[in-house]
Homo-oligomer: A and B are copies of this chain.
Amino acid sequence: MIPWKDLYSERVRDIKASDIRELLKLTKRPEIISFAGGLPNPKSFPVEDIYRISQSILLNNSDEALQYTTTEGYIELRKFLATRERNVGVDATEENILITSGSQQGLELITKAFINPKDTVFIEEPSYLGGISAFKLFQASFKTIPLENDGARLDILREKLKKAKDRPKFFYIIPTFQNPSGITYSMEKRKELAEIAQEHDLIIIEDNPYAKLRFEGENIRSFKAIAPDNTLYLSTFSKILSPGFRMAWVCAPKEVIRKLVIVKQATDLCSSSYIQMITYQLLRRGLIDRHTPWIAEMYKEKRDIMLRALEEHFPPGVTWTRPEGGMFIWITLPEYMNAKLMLNDALKQNVAYVHGGAFYIKGGYNHMRLTFAYMDNDKIEEGIKRLGSVIKTYMH
């Protein structure tokens, strides 16, 4: 018998399935009111548009759609995305664009291309679970920068940069409707971070899946548009079209894209040509842009219902964010509470959430991430009500 456990590489020897994975399986039970997963609402999928476009591609372009495509991605899609960047003032061509199989792949390719074991990565605290797991897979060391309502604590970033013995490889940020906190960096903070990045030659990974899902307030420029030479930008169609498509892209300096292309070639050769062509045709015909405001409107209603329910049912001493877009509200419980332990009680009441610890390197257990996007409206209030009662049983 092969002693499998002794043969794994150092990078994976100690990685374990996260408890979140197991939780998300639980939440598939129909009686559960789940605020846990980061799943878009299936009502947001433009099924009819996808239906018509995939028909027309198979009728007219099957030779290309079902064949291998280039590692860089379908050229028309890359050109379209580059044009979009130019329209918001970013100097980009298709050579700045790499199509990836979800933003998770973008994160993994970038990590693989930049991180040696023990390299330092700066992350927000809290940060996106999938980012953390990609960086862990390549054995990064973490330094955390706490978030406040208008973005990361840049004073702490400056301090940690000054103290750092090793140059950090990058700072990973989700500046707009952050996952898990829902907060958005102010323009002031974006500009200040750009200055810091330029001063320290710091690479910023900007992960931007939610920006198009704005309910209120003014659109804000992506960090990339402010500091393009320092930024590796990730965005995705998962939240405005379909996560089942696994369609995302990286926008970065050409030199970096060329390297990532070689890495992606050894990783999976290319992303699905069929799906890339469907996505491009939907974009080109304006169908995604026409559909997105409708998704935002649906999510706004859900956010409002959740915020009202929180006011009504959560006890004093508990606070939460009020996101202007995206999918998440971040709950802060009194420090003596532990949302990880509380989860069992919540599940007994058939409500689920992700506890804050999942988004921290250490600690964070007095937080909860709630997704308002996924549940039907009539379930949201009921779920918050039940969750409020559970929390109340823990109040001192």
Contacts and interface: CB of A to CB of B under 8 A. Distances in A.
Interface string A12-29: 100111000100010000
A19 to B, nearest CB: 13
A262 B12 contact: yes
B268 A116 contact: no
Nearest to A38: B68
Tell me the number of copies of this protein: 2
Contacts of A267: 104-105, 108, 134, 137
Nearest to A10: B116
A201 to B, nearest CB: 5
Contact of A115 (B9, B130, B268): B9
A293 interface: no
A121 to B, nearest CB: 12
Interface in A30-75: 37, 39-40, 42, 45, 47, 50-51, 54-55, 58-59, 62-71
B12 A112 contact: yes
A169 B7 contact: yes
Interface residues of A, number: 85
A62 B39 contact: no
A306 to B, nearest CB: 21
Given A42-B62, A267-B108, A16 B54 contact: no
A263 B15 contact: yes
Given A12-B263, A108-B267, A203-B7, A242 B63 contact: no
Interface of A: 1-5, 7-12, 15-17, 21, 25, 37, 39-40, 42, 45, 47, 50-51, 54-55, 58-59, 62-71, 101-102, 104-105, 108, 112-116, 119, 130, 133-134, 136-138, 169, 201, 203, 229-230, 238, 242-246, 253, 255-256, 258-259, 261-263, 265-275
16 contacts: A9-B112, A9-B113, A9-B114, A10-B116, A12-B112, A12-B113, A15-B263, A65-B244, A66-B243, A68-B243, A68-B244, A101-B268, A112-B137, A133-B266, A136-B266, A246-B270
